[in-house]
Structure 1
Amino acid sequence: MADRILTTHVGSLPRDKAVTDLIFAHERDEPIDPGEFDRVVGAAVDACVARQVAVGIDLVSDGEMSKISYATYIKDRITGFAGDSARTPPADLEAFPGFLARQAAAGGTPTYRRPRCVAEIAPLTLQPLHDDVARLDHAVHLHAPHGAFMNAASPGVIALFQPNDFYPTQDAYLEALAEAMRPEYEAICAAGLILQLDSPDLGLGRHMMYKDRSDADYLGLIGQHVEVLNHALRNVPASQVRMHVCWGNYEGPHHCDVEMAVILPTLMRAKPQGLLFETSNPRHQHDWQAFTDMVTLIPEDRVLIPGVIDSTTNFVEHPKVVAQRIEQYVDIVGRERVIAGTDCGFSTFAGFGAIDPDIVYAKLAALADGATIASERIWARAA
């Protein structure tokens, strides 16, 4: 058991130009030297792990260096996807068309492909995952962090961004996705890494995928997302898995975000022991109250990983603010069940990021400094 509050983040970190160029060349189906790809991406993973350790992050990732995005990367690992999908803006941006147009004109909307499901879904290859694991394992041995995790897309978030044109029902689509992704989930755990399931569909889905449905309908729909995810995790221990939920990693009104109090009971039915969620986003700084009010619904082994730094602005949070946010959750579930995290990733899509790369690591350093302050105060109170 750690003698302090551990630190982590959601996963993606800024990619340099050499990595981004290779990723987009692959996206355009241009020939790429596999050895060159492995060398460039491997060096980037080593560098980002070293930098995470240097600023005080305990549970590190590979920064998702090899992936074009956290959801569409799967088209190279499972069958059934082709073409592209129309972009559907979230409901909050639709309510402010002038802001939406300004964001698009400023290049704030990624333009890579979001393929559709057009055929049967099945596992295709685990080789890209094995390559990711090998690169992260090498960096972990070099830089010796406290621990490491690897991201994988949940069935629900794949369905959110890549619509179904093949399966007769949405439930059948989700079930096929879950079974096709299961080997990836199991392989990450078998490698000794923490598996992080990225599941923004459970929050963001309310004002994107299901924006025309009632809250009651939405809860039923995401309840099915959780059921198929749990089934896909049937062969891995809950203690080795964590799940990230968010309302969209973009600057915007967010006034259509579903309340944490509405979805928290559903989230607590998910198998992963760890739950990462936003608390720095101004629309969600009050969500600690939902956890307080519903504390009896939180399983005794559940670990809360609140986002105590924001991922959409270049403000560097004061460590004292970070400490206060951490302590709010320690007061709810105890110090052994809180890890300090981030609201979302810092480079959710390759080549797109609202935050300057150097400021990303300054924010992560503030996260670590805040966790130190919180730990000193929390352990002093317990002495």
Structure 2
Amino acid sequence: MRSSSDRILTTHAGSLPRTPELLAANAARQTGEAPAGFADLLAGEVTDLVRRQVEAGIDVVGDGEYGKAMSSPVDYGAWWSYSFQRTGGLEIIDDASWATADVQSAPGDTRLTGFLHRRDRALFADAYADPTSGIFTGDPKASPFPSCTGPLTYTGQDAIAADIANLTAALERTGAEEGFLTALSPGSASRITNRYYASEEEFVYAWADVLREEYRAIIDAGLVLQIDDPSIAENFDQITPEPSVEDYAAFTRLRVEALNYALRDLPEDRIRFHLCWGSWHGPHTTDIAMADIVSTMLQINAGAYSFEAGNVRHEHEWKVWQDVELPEGKLILPGVVSHATNVVEHPELVADRIERFAAGVGRERVVASTDCGLGGRIHPQIAWAKLETLAQGARIASERLWG
């Protein structure tokens, strides 16, 4: 992966806004076969997207997760629901177990509950239920996730091959030096109902075997692999009562070990890991602190770590890097513009945020990024303005840091 050897480089966390044409095509795909010419449409859209990233000043570009079907301008889940179309052994069950499940975890009586039982959601129930509040995400029971009803197998070979081909072609056509593709982690993938495997550990490791195929394909193609894994931090909000930090670290260890198993023998310097507390626009008052999760994150065998640092719930946590030593040769990709607000950050603020991290870990080890994916979270016009101000702030910081 490129490092900021002579200036602060820029990237983003993955998802970017889809065009109306791509949204319409994805909607048609949900009702049956892909519309005629879809493959060419997708390839062209990815090239146009990469070109626009380059023009906005983004150095390490992605495909915007365009190969992960999203059929609505607002979508918080395409980053992981894509895996349902690429995995055998899954089936839609006509109940709400995925949303309300109470799964025995470890240690003690710690339990991971379903998406409807978040502690943040319970504290702000009226706001979450109010369609005018800005955090209403619809009725989760309306779009049930599948359950695992048989042995998991990877069936996404054609889909990942298309993702790779589209981004590779876009890099060649635009002259972009480096590109990344995102893929789901075993820990996040396993947050559906298991009706087949005998234990939670067996289920998580089955996902690790499945997703490793996608990881290897991306790296073998010469691209950077980004692991999307909000579960590492976000699961904390789904455990009731609130666990101790020690118990949560023990609960999370299985997810980390399974991910490292899936990444075994793959080059760390081609892997970046994305941690976040969930991209929905809620209060997030029950998020685990970065100081309590950073050591767990650093156990993951990746060469770079992407995390939220621009939203108002976590911005103050840049101070963590005054006390935590980043392992030799690794990078951080802090979010310095946020998906959680429509306010476009000023370039001077972006520069200030970058400089704080540079003071903690060294300027060469900071690549400026976004908190989370911008696609499906904020209006496209605002998303692109945020990418432009990200690049402007990086230029200001570079002038200050290199003189």
The AA in structure 2 aligned to 1:108 is T
Equivalent residue for 1:3? Answer: 6
Aligned to 2:334, the other structure's residue is in SS state strand
Query: Which piece of structure 1 moves more, 229-238 or 14-23?
Result: 14-23
Task: Verify the 8 A CA contact 2:62 2:180 in the aligned structure 1.
Answer: yes
TM-score norm. by structure 1 comes to 0.92
Quote how far apart the aligned CAs of 1:210 are.
Answer: 6.8
Equivalent residue for 2:111? Answer: none
Equivalent residue for 1:374? Answer: 397
Q: Does 1:76 align with 2:85?
A: yes
Residue deviations 1:220-262, cap 9 Å, x none? 1211111111111112100000000000112111110000111
Q: 1:72 and 1:354 mapped to 2: Cα distance?
A: 16
The AA in structure 1 aligned to 2:226 is Q
Task: Verify the 8 A CA contact 2:321 2:361 in the aligned structure 1.
Answer: no
Quote how far apart the aligned CAs of 1:18 are.
Answer: 2.3
Task: Verify the 8 A CA contact 1:58 1:145 in the aligned structure 2.
Answer: yes
Task: Verify the 8 A CA contact 1:319 1:370 in the aligned structure 2.
Answer: yes
Q: 2:179 and 2:90 mapped to 1: Cα distance?
A: 30
1:105–1:317: structure 2 CA closer, same or farther, 3 Å change rule? closer
Equivalent residue for 1:199? Answer: 229
Task: Verify the 8 A CA contact 1:186 1:235 in the aligned structure 2.
Answer: no
Task: Verify the 8 A CA contact 2:91 2:146 in the aligned structure 1.
Answer: yes
Q: Does 1:108 align with 2:131?
A: no
Quote how far apart the aligned CAs of 1:331 are.
Answer: 0.5
Q: Does 1:60 align with 2:55?
A: no
Equivalent residue for 2:384? Answer: 361
Q: 1:210 and 1:172 mapped to 2: Cα distance?
A: 24
Q: 1:105 and 1:247 mapped to 2: Cα distance?
A: 20
Residue deviations 1:96-124, cap 9 Å, x none? 11111114897633754421212111222
Aligned to 2:169, the other structure's residue is in SS state helix
Equivalent residue for 1:47? Answer: 48
**In the alignment, which of 90, 106, 116 is matched to residue 118 of structure 2?**
90
Q: Does 1:216 align with 2:246?
A: yes
| Aligned length in residues | 370
Equivalent residue for 2:287? Answer: 257
Q: 2:346 and 2:133 mapped to 1: Cα distance?
A: 32
Q: 1:146 and 1:5 mapped to 2: Cα distance?
A: 15
Task: Verify the 8 A CA contact 1:306 1:340 in the aligned structure 2.
Answer: yes
Structure 2 gaps, min length 5:
70-77, 100-114
Task: Verify the 8 A CA contact 1:219 1:266 in the aligned structure 2.
Answer: yes
Q: 2:346 and 2:232 mapped to 1: Cα distance?
A: 30
Q: Does 1:189 align with 2:219?
A: yes
**In the alignment, which of 216, 219, 231 is matched to residue 261 of structure 2?**
231
TM-score norm. by structure 2 comes to 0.88
Q: 2:307 and 2:44 mapped to 1: Cα distance?
A: 30
Q: 1:180 and 1:372 mapped to 2: Cα distance?
A: 41
Task: Verify the 8 A CA contact 1:61 1:148 in the aligned structure 2.
Answer: yes
Q: 1:204 and 1:271 mapped to 2: Cα distance?
A: 20
Residue deviations 1:15-54, cap 9 Å, x none? 12221233233334x1224x52212212221121111111
Task: Verify the 8 A CA contact 1:72 1:115 in the aligned structure 2.
Answer: no
Query: Which piece of structure 1 moves more, 303-312 or 116-125?
Result: 116-125
Q: Percent identity?
A: 37
Structure 1 gaps, min length 5:
348-352
Aligned to 2:226, the other structure's residue is in SS state strand
Task: Verify the 8 A CA contact 1:156 1:199 in the aligned structure 2.
Answer: yes
1:214–1:80: structure 2 CA closer, same or farther, 3 Å change rule? farther
Quote how far apart the aligned CAs of 1:179 are.
Answer: 0.7
Aligned to 1:118, the other structure's residue is in SS state strand
The AA in structure 2 aligned to 1:294 is V
Q: 1:103 and 1:203 mapped to 2: Cα distance?
A: 27
The AA in structure 1 aligned to 2:246 is A
1:375–1:238: structure 2 CA closer, same or farther, 3 Å change rule? same
Task: Verify the 8 A CA contact 1:313 1:354 in the aligned structure 2.
Answer: no
Equivalent residue for 1:244? Answer: 274
Task: Verify the 8 A CA contact 2:279 2:377 in the aligned structure 1.
Answer: no
Equivalent residue for 2:107? Answer: none
1:105–1:282: structure 2 CA closer, same or farther, 3 Å change rule? closer
